[in-house]
Structure 1
Amino acid sequence: MILLRRAIKGLAGILMLLAIGFALYAFLRNRPQDVPWTPLDLGQHTGLFTGRKLAALDTDFAECRALLDKAGVRYSALSPAGKGGCSYADGVRLHPGGPDAIALSPSEARMSCPVAAGLLMWQWNVLQPAAQRYFGSPVGRMLHYGTYSCRRLYGRATGPWSKHATADAIDVAGFVLKDGTRITVTGDWGGKGVKAQFLHTVRDGACGLFSTVLSPDYNRAHHDHLHLDQARRGAFGGRVCR
């Protein structure tokens, strides 16, 4: 009798695991972006592994450009530039088009392809939905302090190279909506109104798309911008969101 009860409990456990596995499969089948081994598609919503897939594009410039092409993105591929730790071989310049496209200001922004891909997914999945929700108007321009810059961390003379040195980062200073509303990290991050809520929302949304997201909550060096980069830290490497 005892053996029979144990057998029944064991069978029930197996059936439960099978049911959970089937439910998980059914869920993931409709959300391939949540599976680590499925190909990245910039047109999909952000998934559990989207950020890691975007960062991994630094090993295959051709694949990254193919993803931009598939998504209908207008861009120019740039020739390799720089030397050693201060260089890039996968640079692009975005040429946004369409009624809801976000223009970069300044427009001459050289960035690595993985950063461009992350920036576009941030625009489509986070920025524009948040702007419509909080203000009822889309973002027209993204203000930034730069992308590619041959310098070391915090502008020091020695030490590790900044991710800007390989065009793998962008410092976002704020946004201008299509209705003229201006939102800046310097002026609005620490407030209590809707602009501060918007900035915190888009910062949080960037964390699923970039390897590193640093805001004024991190330190004084980031008091006026959101630092977004695609640092490659391996398949199981940590991600930073502050």
Structure 2
Amino acid sequence: MVSIAFFRPLVVPVLAALVLAGCAGGGGRKPAPNRPAPVVKERPRLSASELRQCFADLRAADVRFDALPDRNFPGGCSAIDSVKLLDVGVPVANLGAMQCPLARTFAQWAYYAAMPAARRFLRGELVKIETMGSYACRNINGVAGPAASQRSEHAFANAVDVSAFILADGRRVSVKAGWSGSSDERQFLRALHRSACKRFQTVLGPDYNAAHHDHLHFDMGRGPYCR
């Protein structure tokens, strides 16, 4: 059993301007031709001691991960201070680079929220979490106006999109079907959404807009913002 007693929610109150970090879509997608050039601002990075502590926290919790080299990509995208999670107590599909604080908070959420909620609401053991990925070099999707020219938190390996949960008995509860599914599925997914709002800076789900009808978006960017 994974021990993650050291975790604490990472809450950094910041003004919620331009907080909307849109999701959906694959890595490397270029902005549409009629979009303005992306606005890219310098990203703060962890100090050497903060990064060492993040790695130590993950190891102390028996979370399996690989530390990744810093990478900068064309268009102002990057994966800095990042890791690849291999196992957070259950396997997680489709994860790429994640900034270490995001990975730490995601592991916390998986252990303290997803696993217990599966037992409580679905009366089953969670054996896998499916995602739509983490890093993707692109702008915010599903928004208009000035925010459409902003790089998504995905472009900095600072966001993850969760799409479904697999139970030991073979059941698959997806955000797309389960958000308006059975009573147990609705309660399960909304409990996970509420818990995420206490841990991540931005949480967006199906009630936010059509672009999020099939996943929960978590990031550690601007916020707090919970929809």
TM-score bracket, shorter-length normalisation: 0.7 to 0.9
1:73 aligns with 2:63: yes
Q: Tell me which protein shows more helix as a share of its residues.
A: 1
Displacement, 1:81?
Answer: 1.5
Compare CA radii of gyration and give the structure with the larger one.
Answer: 1
Q: TM-score, normalising length from structure 2?
A: 0.75
Q: TM-score, normalising length from structure 1?
A: 0.71
Displacement, 1:154?
Answer: 0.8
Q: Give the corresponding residue for 2:101.
A: 114
Q: Give the corresponding residue for 2:224.
A: 239
| 1:173-212 deviation per Cα after TM superposition (whole angstroms, max 9, x unaligned) | 1111122111001111023421111001111111111000
How far apart, in 2, do the equivalents of 1:58 and 1:240 lie? 22
Partner of 2:137: helix, strand, or coil?
Answer: coil
Instruction: From 84, 97, 102, give the equivalent of 2:90.
Output: 102
Q: Give the corresponding residue for 2:81.
A: 90
User: Amino acid of the residue matched to residue 165 of structure 2?
Assistant: F
| 1:117-158 deviation per Cα after TM superposition (whole angstroms, max 9, x unaligned) | 1111101111111111112222111111110001111189x6
How far apart, in 2, do the equivalents of 1:205 and 1:167 lie? 21
1:52 aligns with 2:14: no
Aligned residue runs from structure 1 range 1-242, under 5 A: 42-44=4-6, 46=8, 50-52=9-11, 59=46, 60-83=50-73, 85-96=76-87, 101-106=89-94, 108-154=95-141, 159-231=149-221, 233=222, 238-242=223-227
How far apart, in 2, do the equivalents of 1:58 and 1:202 lie? 28
User: Amino acid of the residue matched to residue 157 of structure 2?
Assistant: A
How far apart, in 2, do the equivalents of 1:240 and 1:93 lie? 25
Partner of 1:153: helix, strand, or coil?
Answer: coil
**Percent of aligned pairs with the same residue?**
37
Partner of 1:52: helix, strand, or coil?
Answer: coil
- Identify the range of structure 1 (123-132 vs 88-97) with the bigger mean alpha-carbon deviation: 88-97
Aligned 8 A contact 1:139 1:178 in 2 = yes
Aligned 8 A contact 2:79 2:97 in 1 = no
Unaligned runs of 5+ in 2: 15-43
How far apart, in 2, do the equivalents of 1:76 and 1:200 lie? 31
Number of equivalenced pairs: 188
Partner of 1:116: helix, strand, or coil?
Answer: helix
How far apart, in 1, do the equivalents of 2:192 and 2:66 lie? 27
How far apart, in 2, do the equivalents of 1:240 and 1:155 lie? 16
| 1:198-227 deviation per Cα after TM superposition (whole angstroms, max 9, x unaligned) | 001111111111000000111111111000
How far apart, in 1, do the equivalents of 2:7 and 2:67 lie? 25
Displacement, 1:110?
Answer: 1.8
Structure with more relative contact order (C-alpha pairs < 8 Å, separation 6 or more): 2
| 1:58-93 deviation per Cα after TM superposition (whole angstroms, max 9, x unaligned) | 523222112112222211000111237300211111
